[in-house]
Structure 1
Amino acid sequence: MFPYQLVYGKVCHLPVELEHKAYWAIRYLNLDSEAAGIKRMLQLNKLDEFRYSAYENAKLYKEKTKLLHDKKISIRVFEPRQRVLLYNSRLKFFFRKLKSRWSKSFVVTRASPYGHVEIQEENSDRKFTVNGQRLKHYLGGEINC
């Protein structure tokens, strides 16, 4: 569906084609108002059909996009007292190539089945809740922050 087709209910034509079509329509209808009214009702019905088909196409596209998006989401299960790394999306000081966006390790204090996880810094009592998609399991080793 082209936007022009959605708005006007027909395919876009060049001005020469439209002029010829208008001349043909005047000659064909011979300025009969009843026939013109019937033709206009048919055009309005066709426009409704175009809009309905565009709505259905958009709905199918959104469903397919959602399936592809949901396929890419990895399911991560976190347990209390487990060590995790937090993704820092606001890191803008350095180039991405030079600095890791995964910050220091945290300890999970509480995990919800709905996706939010409460974490705590290892050396302090500061706790905060984050989305589980921003965390990944920490397997140990050195972190280059």
Structure 2
Amino acid sequence: MSPFRLVYERAWRASIERKLLLQELECLRLKAYENSRLYKEKVKAVHDNNIKRREFRVGDLVLLYNSRLRLMPANLRSRWEGPYMVEKVELYGVFYLSYPSSPNFFKVNGHRLKQYHGEKLERNKELEIFLLKDPAQEED
């Protein structure tokens, strides 16, 4: 047998082995994609089951979450503002709110709301706000 033929046969065998390895690698990659897809479906199902469905009707009193409060140094201040009245409900969790004494309303996402369980406010009733002062500052 000629040396050229020997080299050719070895190269041919190596190319076939390489193709088989590439096919095996492609099968492993497809299995990894399938496992990843199944994992994502399971995680999404668990996440969707844990989401709290918030259903508010027109006229309900709600509290609004203030996510920007962390920029302020008031540690004891509540992050919930309100109560606000639900004026209009739209699809996909969009709510229009208004302050009970104001005719203007604004749009918010339903994930930022929670039910207000305080006393019912009359329409057009003004709230009194008392600001607490530091006793050390009053003496000066």
TM-score (ref. length: structure 2):
0.71
| Residue in structure 1 matched with residue 82 of structure 2 by the alignment | 104
| Residue in structure 2 matched with residue 53 of structure 1 by the alignment | 31
Shift of 1:94: 4.5
Residue 116 of structure 1: which of 94, 108, 111 is its match? Answer: 94
Following the alignment from structure 2 to structure 1, what is the Cα–Cα distance between the partners of residues 80 and 44?
27
Shift of 1:99: 2.9
| Residue in structure 1 matched with residue 17 of structure 2 by the alignment | 39
2:109 counterpart letter in structure 1 = N
1:117 counterpart letter in structure 2 = F
1:131 counterpart letter in structure 2 = N
1:62 and 2:40 correspond: yes
1:122 counterpart letter in structure 2 = P
1:137 and 2:115 correspond: yes
Give 5+ residue unaligned stretches, structure 1.
1-30
2:102 counterpart letter in structure 1 = S
Shift of 1:55: 0.7
Give 5+ residue unaligned stretches, structure 2.
1-8, 120-140
* Structure whose alpha-carbon radius of gyration is higher: 2
Residue identity over aligned pairs, in percent, reads 42
2:16 counterpart letter in structure 1 = I
- Secondary structure of the equivalent of 1:42? helix
- Secondary structure of the equivalent of 1:85? strand
TM-score (ref. length: structure 1):
0.69
CA gap 1:60/1:96 in 2 versus in 1, 3 angstroms: farther
Following the alignment from structure 1 to structure 2, what is the Cα–Cα distance between the partners of residues 42 and 97?
65
